[in-house]
Structure formats: C-alpha cells, structure tokens
Structure 1
Amino acid sequence: MIFERPSRTMLSAHQEGQSSFPIPMVYEHVPAQRLPWEYHVLTIDSAEQALPDEAQLNALGSEGWILVAVVDTRTREHSSLVHYYFTRQAQQEEKKK
C-alpha cells in the first residue's frame, strides 16, 4: 500500500517563511581559459620492435604524457604497426614560441 503525504502538511512542518524546496545558487559567469595541448604519436612496427613495456610507458607518463588511444593495425592484412596516441598540456617554453 502506498501512502501519500499532502504537500501542505510537509510545508507546514517548516518554520514560517522557510521553503522546503532548495534555493538555486547563481554563480558568476567566468569565461574558461583555453589550455593549449600538444600531442605525441608513438608508432611501433611490431615485426621489428617489441611493444612498449611498462617502464617505457611510465617514462612517458613522468614527462606528463597521457595515453589516450591505441590503434592496432596488425589485424589488417600486411600490417604490423601499432600507434600509441599521447597528449599533455603544452609546456611553458612552448607557449612562448
């Protein structure tokens, strides 16, 4: 069985002048600053090289690179390439260039 409580009863439980509904907050609009990004593609020919190991990926990570995608083209005929796509915020020196 479902019991419904009249909204009038719920509102009367609050102090006079106080609403039971949340009051929305209005924030000042501050335009977002666009951050410059840079990208790095690591292409490995798996017929000639080993795929990057944890140490190699950690070295890139310590430089600020974030792995965002891996495209393995080895599933296609006559291809042995694996592409690793990295991104990071542009460094201060590169912003001045």
Structure 2
Amino acid sequence: MKHSKTKTSFYRRLYIAYLIDRGINTVPAITAATGMPRRTAQDTLSALHELGIECEFVGANKDGHYRIRQWGPINQQWLIDNLRLIQHTLEYPAL
C-alpha cells in the first residue's frame, strides 16, 4: 500500500523522537536502526520542532547526542501503542 508523503513524514518524525527517547540518540545510531540515509535523519531531526517536539543536542560535536526535552502535543502512549504500525508503514525493522 502506498502512503502519502504527509503521513510518512509525520510517522518518521515520531519514530525518530521515540528512538532518541530510548537511547538511540545519535545520527549514526539512528541510521543503523532504520536504514535511512544520513541526510534524511538529519533533516528529520531538524524538523521535530514543527510538531512541537523540543529536541536538543547535548555534548561536543563528536561525542554528543540528542535528547527530547519536551514532547509538546504528542501523546507518547499513542506512539508506543502504535509502534508496530509506524514501523510497518515506514518499512523499518522492529527493534
């Protein structure tokens, strides 16, 4: 089934925030977990604020990581409950 770009973009952002919250919080770790290109991961991280998710980079450039400071309007329980659907829609492997 073909999903809209709006839906996949929204799910991708949610999934990246979920991964960061679970400790998969560097660009190399995100690309390894999802298989997405590095640039896509970076663009998605930059766009989290558009959903009201506050994400910050902590530490030095080489040794730092991302952290979710605030989920904003996103219901984390909905995300957890629908994780398999999101992974399936994005064609990402289950963790």
TM-score between both structures, scaled by the size of structure 1: 0.29
Compare the two structures and name the one with the higher helix fraction. 2
TM-score between both structures, scaled by the size of structure 2: 0.30
Q: Which has the larger radius of gyration?
A: 1
